[in-house]
Structure 1
Amino acid sequence: MSSKAVETVYGSMPANLTCAKLRDLCVESGIQTGPFGSQLHQEDYVEKGTPIITVEHLGENRIVHSNLPKVSDDDKARLNKYALKAGDIVFSRVGSVDRRALVQPAEDGWLFSGRCLRVRPNASELDAQWLSYFFGLPAFKAYIRSIAVGATMPSLNTKILSDVPIYFPDLATQRNAAFALAKLDDRITLLRETNATLEAIAQALFKSWFVDFDPVRAKRDGRAPDGMDEATAALFPDSFEGSELGAAPRGWRVCRVEDFADRVGMGPFGSNIKVETFVDSGIPVISGQHLKQFLVEDTTFNFITKDHAERLTKSCVQAGDVIFTHAGSIGQVALLHKHAAFSKYVLSQRQFFLRCRTELMTPEWIAHYFKTSAGQHQLLANTSQVGVPSIARPVSYLRSIQLVVPPPVLCSRFAEVCSSITDGVMANRKHITTLTNLRDALLPRLIPGQLRLSEVAEAIKEALA
């Protein structure tokens, strides 16, 4: 590969690459906006049908399959021109315009929303997987953000996207580079799916023990609780009794959150943390994007200085705290794991937290409780629908919530049983970070053909082992 280079809008690129506008590398009508809002309304959504990809479902080059809206077969036929094919690339049209995802075979035939743009490359010119990684280059992301229109809400259109220049090597080089990077992404996806399964197992166990009361019912009926050792089974009663919240296992008590809370606190006012206060390293800021799983996502933070965090000490959190969202994506609940990457974090303005008195309540138990249907119902019962959805008076309201809680020894036993699950999740996350760092390091050199697959095959094999 020639060492000569040329300067482009993306910085230095090898001189022997071919350059063309994106529109000239796509099939006819290959760059297309999703349906107008008048063509598709929320009331058109059905429980079972064809999924629609929105901006919220664009992960890091993968479609996120949770909470997908769906439409009927009739609407799918009506909106057929917006049907996706495997190999299409879906862009965010508004907001985070550098977000994109490659459509996989399992998503063939799905639709995309009006807030998205679809790119369908010509297979004789570009490998779709390679192009999706080209769009993931940091230099491309910076460029697409710079040419988006609108200051407060950046947006793209077909003209803007059609005119972007693409620098590409021959198809064989494209395919080899995409193959190597996809190997890493496939393992990352598998590890994330494994973690979702592990978290679902823990939540199912909580539901069995503390919502459906399966061990209590089994002992009442003279049976040994399924899959439970004798020491754990002995911690459950064998009957129910009345309480102000209805039938409850005998000996369990009704209390308010404030009865076992060491502290309940809010994130700071928005004026206290601004974009201009962010620094390259320091105290990480937890926002809603970190609360999508049961355990706080411990990567990709904005930071503020230690001095700034000291001034916001009432909004600082630590391992063992349970964090909630009170405005915007309300209902989010996540636990800051005992092996969190940092000793201190600060919340953003839309979050609040609960720190338990661990001799009375474990954070694992309370986090799982507020993930249940009953817990979510209680958490959202004080929601205001005026403007941005929000929980009114979140701190005082959380303190006032009543619930039936088991003895502390049983809460602790549940935390012990779940620790192997959460430890597995954290180990997988560490592996994901390793793979992500390797992919991101290889991306700028593999995509323009500056590295050959043979040169990185051993490093990729070792990372995947």
Structure 2
Amino acid sequence: MELESCLSPPSEWRKVSIASVCKRFTSGGTPSRKKLEYFEGGVLPWIKTKELADCVVGDAEEWITEEAIAYSSAKRLPRNTLLMAMYGATVGQLGVLGREMACNQACAAMVVDDTLCDFRFLYYQLLGNRRQIVSMATGAAQQNLSGAQIKTWVLPLPSRGEQSRICHVLWSIDERIALLRRTNATLEAIAQALFKSWFVDFDPVRAKAEGREPEGMDAVTAALFPSEFEDSKLGPIPKGWSARALDSIANYLNGLALQKYPPESDSEFLPVIKIAQLRAGHTRGADRASARLKPGYVVEDGDVLFSWSGSLEVETWGGGRGALNQHLFKVTSTEVPKWFYYLATRHHLPAFRETAAHKATTMGHIQRRHLTEALVAVPPGPLMKVLSETAAPLLDACLNNALRASSLEGLRDTLLPRLISGKLRLPEADAEVEALS
């Protein structure tokens, strides 16, 4: 079955196949995982499908060596190459290379001929038609797309200049979204560094014990930290503090099997928040569930969510109201502030992931007892209150940025199909972007 854009373009736009506007259409390589030396001292980022997130990709978890590139028949892919996940849980996911990279065999790589097509225009065409493309995937346990189908997919193509003008509008929105995400990554790193300094390394207490003034805080805050340690289940902790289990300072509410709670109608429902939605940060295209769930199972912006199975993540949700699916905890507390239980849970996330990775199941996970075994040092109320004045605004800013990014994504998704089909002219699009600025 031949794929063709589901959008109806103006008659003056040409219809061309993806293959005809690409210099190369290829797949990645398959370096042996047993050859660990291929990943030591690597010279090129090695992209896997799980790292594609509909954005510019500039780095990867693993880098491969020149020997690995030769062994795997992997191709050096230039900057601005488009990648699409061709099978597995992320099928249809897209990425744009921000530098020279290589990819694994589960990706299709499209090196666009810039004289014929703006790589961004092809990216937005694929994004705008993804639902149709993914519907062509076959397979039960693992969904698979055919490279031959994608190569012959027919897309509408305006003049080269018109492509660039359309892409300028959409790309400028995506750049704003990327900036907000980078800002959040920085704020998150600062918050985690402060948590480690205060509640893991106990730097202010050690400084006072050595007769030094704690760094980075005023005298009033420093005075609230003790200058001695005492033994606890966690080991030495500041005197007067308590060693507490995560599930004793916060409530970890597991979600529901929401297929048992169908929506009331096409207009009355809640989008289902699963692990995929948590990672994406939105509920576009999500399943639907009843809008009449108990309040505890309704997720609002600002709630802390923790996926304890599969892909373990801890995030402050900013993707709008939704329903809490099983395999996700909604974390709340009446004992400690949100910033504290959020950062405490994130602090233990690497250990939780390690535990899940060693589960002999198809989907790694942690159990309730692991929350009980995960300890954190909790300071007295007066100190917690003062530290909140520094930590809470950092995470509040992250949430505000996430909500702003979500609004921009909504605008982009509204404009995208109208722009790449010629239904919306550029002056009108510019006006809509300006209205949200």
Whether TM-score is above 0.5 comes out as: yes
Cα offsets for 1:224-256 (capped at 9, x unmatched): 222212232222111212223321111112233
Decide whether the 8 Å contact of 1:382 with 1:397 is kept in 2. no
In the alignment, is residue 209 of structure 1 matched against residue 194 of structure 2? no
Distance 2:27 2:264 in 1: 36
Distance 1:9 1:131 in 2: 11
Deviation (angstroms), 1:420 = 1.6
- What is the Cα-based RMSD across aligned positions, in Å? 3.1
1:4 is matched with which residue? none
Distance 2:169 2:301 in 1: 36
Decide whether the 8 Å contact of 1:278 with 1:303 is kept in 2. no
Q: How does 1:40-439 map to 2 (within 5 A)?
A: 43=36, 44-46=38-40, 48-63=42-57, 65=59, 68-79=61-72, 81-95=74-88, 96-104=90-98, 107-108=99-100, 110-137=101-128, 140-261=129-250, 263-269=251-257, 272=260, 282-292=269-279, 297=281, 300=284, 302-307=287-292, 309-310=293-294, 315=297, 322-330=304-312, 332-335=313-316, 341-342=320-321, 345-358=322-335, 361-372=336-347, 376-377=350-351, 381=355, 385-392=359-366, 394-439=367-412
2:10 is matched with which residue? 14
Deviation (angstroms), 1:14 = 1.5
Cα offsets for 1:143-168 (capped at 9, x unmatched): 21232232443212221111111211
Q: 1:78 to 1:249 in 2, by over 3 A?
A: same
Deviation (angstroms), 1:459 = 4.0
Counterpart AA for 2:254: M
Distance 1:182 1:321 in 2: 30
Distance 1:270 1:42 in 2: 43
> Is there any run of 5+ residues in structure 2 with no aligned partner, and where?
none
The number of residue pairs the alignment matches comes to 431
Q: 1:200 to 1:299 in 2, by over 3 A?
A: farther
Decide whether the 8 Å contact of 1:288 with 1:329 is kept in 2. yes
Distance 1:272 1:147 in 2: 28
Identity %: 27
Deviation (angstroms), 1:368 = 0.8
Q: 1:446 to 1:256 in 2, by over 3 A?
A: closer
Q: 1:402 to 1:40 in 2, by over 3 A?
A: closer
Cα offsets for 1:284-337 (capped at 9, x unmatched): 4332235459xxx46545441123x24xx775566776432222113x223458
1:24 is matched with which residue? 20
Q: 1:60 to 1:410 in 2, by over 3 A?
A: same
Decide whether the 8 Å contact of 1:22 with 1:161 is kept in 2. yes
Distance 2:154 2:11 in 1: 14
Counterpart AA for 1:164: W
Decide whether the 8 Å contact of 1:326 with 1:351 is kept in 2. yes
Deviation (angstroms), 1:266 = 2.0
Q: 1:180 to 1:327 in 2, by over 3 A?
A: same
Q: 1:385 to 1:462 in 2, by over 3 A?
A: same
Cα offsets for 1:315-362 (capped at 9, x unmatched): 5566776432222113x223458xx844xx53222123443232xx22
Counterpart AA for 2:17: K
Decide whether the 8 Å contact of 1:335 with 1:364 is kept in 2. no
Deviation (angstroms), 1:169 = 0.9
Distance 2:265 2:211 in 1: 60
Deviation (angstroms), 1:198 = 0.8
Q: Which moved more, 1:146-155 or 1:118-127?
A: 146-155
Q: 1:125 to 1:378 in 2, by over 3 A?
A: closer
Distance 1:52 1:369 in 2: 32
Q: What is the TM-score with the length of structure 2 in the denominator? A: 0.86
Cα offsets for 1:69-110 (capped at 9, x unmatched): 221232235456522112321111014433222223xx22x1
Q: 1:298 to 1:228 in 2, by over 3 A?
A: farther
Q: What is the TM-score with the length of structure 1 in the denominator? A: 0.82
